[in-house]
């Protein structure tokens, strides 16, 4: 039996509550047999920054390099600027390990009172693929004459042919692997007439490698309306770093809450460990109270297990999650309930124990 080396990075805010819960779930899965994990926990984040002046050590990536996967909480501290926490930790790992595909599934889980609850689970089953290495979050730009009336500032969005081509190919491949074989390519090529026009051209070119995938294009603003009005017309969606960031928070809210949505920052070539995390942030308003919804983390663990090829354990965990969301008495505050992180975690563990494969005598 292989032992998987897992790095856990709780980070800040409710990350410190949901990541231990995710680890507890993984330990329960391991207890049932068939799987083994060796965890290493990293105390990087806001508190580390206060002590050391950086969100993570300079050689931090080296400590992660030999891991099979990373489970991440959130970077964001009420007393440190958001761009410092984001660039100092999460983006350092995503970019350092070239995790260029950010994959964000959305489904309506049983029992959840979602704004799009008129949809059956079959009608709302999306995967948003976010370009995760360049574009609007390239980090290139600057400010001149800071604070003066003539100040000017830029954030340059860099799109490379290689970067766009690889994310589009990843998205077409993913769409091809799903039952509906349907891909929507999101751009804003009417207004952004350089890089986005290049996206459209490359999409057409890559599409020829996937004749069995039906695909269309949508402008990002129109896409928000389509998500609300015609959710069943979408399946796999691919967009730039910024556009997909926004669309996926909308998707999570339409499906019920930011607190349940998972994501994977994937290196499809598997040169480096991939990183899985709930899409939410530190949630300053509820942190430290034990009220955070751990479902986004648990679903991220499902994605982590799928990435490791542990599809049976992944399916069992997803089934346990769905049986727990189906029970409103196990809903946390974001879903209109009053359950605690602890109660939801215990309930998922109990369900997992129930679903555990019978052990050989």
Measured CA distances, 287 to 76, 205, 223 (Å): 11, 47, 33
Residue 179 burial (10 A CB sphere; 0-12, 13-18, 19+): exposed
Report the SS3 class of residue 137.
strand
* Cβ 309 to ligand NAD shortest distance, Å: 25
Query: CA–CA separation, 345 vs 18, rounded Å?
Result: 9
Residue nearest to Mn ion (CB): 245
Number of residues that bind K ion (CB under 5 A): 2
Region near ligand NAD per CB under 6 A, out of 81-89, 179-187, 309-317, 345-353: 81-89
Measured CA distances, 208 to 123, 168, 200, 204, 213 (Å): 27, 12, 13, 7, 9
- Judged by CB under 5 A, the residue of 245, 267, 277, 322 near Mn ion is 245
Q: Work out the widest C-alpha separation in the chain, in whole angstroms.
A: 77
Query: CA–CA separation, 263 vs 299, rounded Å?
Result: 8
Query: CA–CA separation, 156 vs 158, rounded Å?
Result: 6
- Judged by CB under 5 A, the residue of 10, 23, 74, 128 near K ion is 74
Is residue 136 a contact residue for Mn ion (CB under 5 A)? no
* Cβ 264 to K ion shortest distance, Å: 11
**26 or 247: CB nearest Mn ion:** 247
* Cβ 246 to ligand NAD shortest distance, Å: 12
Region near K ion per CB under 5 A, out of 68-76, 245-253, 300-308, 337-345: 68-76
Binding to ligand NAD in span 299-358, by CB under 6 A: 332, 334
Binding-site partner at residue 245 among K ion, ligand NAD, Mn ion, none, CB < 5 to 8 Å by type: Mn ion
Binding to K ion in span 250-279, by CB under 5 A: 277
Q: Residue 151: how many CA atoms within 13 Å on its side-chain side?
A: 8
* Site residues (vs Mn ion, CB under 5 A): 245
* Site residues (vs ligand NAD, CB under 6 A): 14, 74-76, 82, 85-86, 90, 258-259, 277, 280-286, 292-293, 296, 332, 334
């Amino acid at each position: 039996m292989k032992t998987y080396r897992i790095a856990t990075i709780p980070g800040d805010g409710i990350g410190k509550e949901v990541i231990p819960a995710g680890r507890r779930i993984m330990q329960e899965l391991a207890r049932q047999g068939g799987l083994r994990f060796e965890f290493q926990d990293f105390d990087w984040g806001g508190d580390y920054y206060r002590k050391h002046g950086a969100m993570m050590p300079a050689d931090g990536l080296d400590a992660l390099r030999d891991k099979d996967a990373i489970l991440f909480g959130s970077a964001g501290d009420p007393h440190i600027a958001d761009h410092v926490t984001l660039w100092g930790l999460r983006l350092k790992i995503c970019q350092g390990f070239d995790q260029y595909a950010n994959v964000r599934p959305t489904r309506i889980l049983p029992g959840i009172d979602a704004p799009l609850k008129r949809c059956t689970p079959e009608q709302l089953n999306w995967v948003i693929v976010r370009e995760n290495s360049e574009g609007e979050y390239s980090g290139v730009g600057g400010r001149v004459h800071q604070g003066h009336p003539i100040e000017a500032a830029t954030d340059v969005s860099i799109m490379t042919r290689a970067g766009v081509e690889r994310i589009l190919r990843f998205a077409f491949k993913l769409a091809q692997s799903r039952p509906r074989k349907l891909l929507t390519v999101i751009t804003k090529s009417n207004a952004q007439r350089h890089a986005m026009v290049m996206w459209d051209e490359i999409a057409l070119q890559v599409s020829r490698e996937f004749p069995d995938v039906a695909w269309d294009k949508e402008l990002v603003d129109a896409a928000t309306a389509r998500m609300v009005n015609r959710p069943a017309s979408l399946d796999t969606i691919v967009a730039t770093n910024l556009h997909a960031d926004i669309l996926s928070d909308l998707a999570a809210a339409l499906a019920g809450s930011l607190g349940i949505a998972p994501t994977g920052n994937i290196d499809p070539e598997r040169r480096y460990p991939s990183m899985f995390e709930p899409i939410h942030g530190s949630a300053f308003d509820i942190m430290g109270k034990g009220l955070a919804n751990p479902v986004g983390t648990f679903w991220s663990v499902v994605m982590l297990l799928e990435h490791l090829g542990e599809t049976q354990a992944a399916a069992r965990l997803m089934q346990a999650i769905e049986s727990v969301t189906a029970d409103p008495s196990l809903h946390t505050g974001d879903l209109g309930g009053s359950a605690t992180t602890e109660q939801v975690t215990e309930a998922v563990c109990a369900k997992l124990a129930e679903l555990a494969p019978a052990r050989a005598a």
